[in-house]
Amino acid sequence: MGSENVLFAFGLTLFAGLSTGLGSALAFLAKRTNTKVLSTALGFSAGVMIYVSFLEIFPKAKDSLVVEFGPRSGYWITVLAFFAGIAFIAIIDKLVPSFENPHEIHRTEEMDIPEAAERFKKLYRMGLFTALAIAIHNFPEGLATFIGALKDIKLGVAIAVAIAIHNVPEGVAVSIPIFYATGSRKKAFIYSFLSGLAEPIGALVGYAILFSFFNDIVFGVLFAAVAGIMVFISLDELLPTAQEYGEHHLSIYGLVAGMVVMALSLLLFQ
């Protein structure tokens, strides 16, 4: 792993994580969120992540493990690692109560400020726990972006963009409640911005752990697990939230568009 690749991978992870700050900034540009654009963008992000997971990440993980363990055992290990990734992120999601869970995005566009403030005051009072919840959720996403970029720069860019799109509405969801509870735009922005730091921290921790013994086996297992994590995020968070914010068809159109764009980019720049 060259130093330039590591720096680039970390830069992508930083970009993806700190896009929560962009979401916070966007939240204050208008009184209401453009829910149709948001719904389509979330669907697009899900399409990118699902396509990349099944057609790029999983096959590359399998190829690495098949070389080391043979066709049958290598395939078995890839599948087990894939579902282990799903189990890992599902357990994290289960352990975080839904009200403090930053991925359980609440609608705000049809609430007036007093009503929203009352609804989200508890979120601010439990600031430390909420920050921990956000860190727990964003940590594996940072690792996914970092590992993807180390193996394939194009893949890392695709994952980073998809997660960044996902993190923008998350930034909105974090900043708006804090703003309604405190009346401070600055405080809301800082909380939202800092919540995204868990992703580059995830990359740093992952690099520190993997640096000394990174090989094809470790890569294959991690990459397969990353595919599972990304599929779960898409199906459990992105698509349901996309449909919550807009029409069902918009999220599906966005999903298909994400797959098409991802497929064309891989075909044109391979």
Report pLDDT digits (tens) over 119-152.
Answer: 445 445 444 444 444 555 667 778 778 887 887 7
HSE on the CB side for 191, CA within 13 Å? Answer: 29
Instruction: Give the pLDDT confidence score for residue 126 in this predicted structure.
Output: 40
Domain that holds residue 86: 3-268
CA angle in degrees (0–180, nearest 5) for 154-224-41:
50
* Count of domains observed in the chain: 1
- Which pLDDT score is estimated for 54? 93
Dmax over Cα atoms in the chain, in whole Å? 62
Give the pLDDT confidence score for residue 161 in this predicted structure. 82
Residue 18 phi/psi, 5-degree rounding, is -80, 0
Overall pTM surpassing 0.75 (yes/no): no
Residue 39 structure tokens:
């719904």
Nearest-Å Rg of the Cα atoms of the chain is 18
The burial of 270, by beta-carbon neighbours within 10 Å (0-12 exposed, 13-18 middle, 19 or more buried), is given as exposed
> Residue 104, by phi and psi: left (phi above 0), alpha (psi -120 to 50) or beta?
beta
pLDDT at 146: 85
Query: Residue 191 is encoded by which pair of tokens?
Result: 């909380």
Q: Which one, of 116, 133, 131, 125, lies nearest residue 177 by Cα?
A: 116
The encoded tokens of residue 48 equal 């990118």
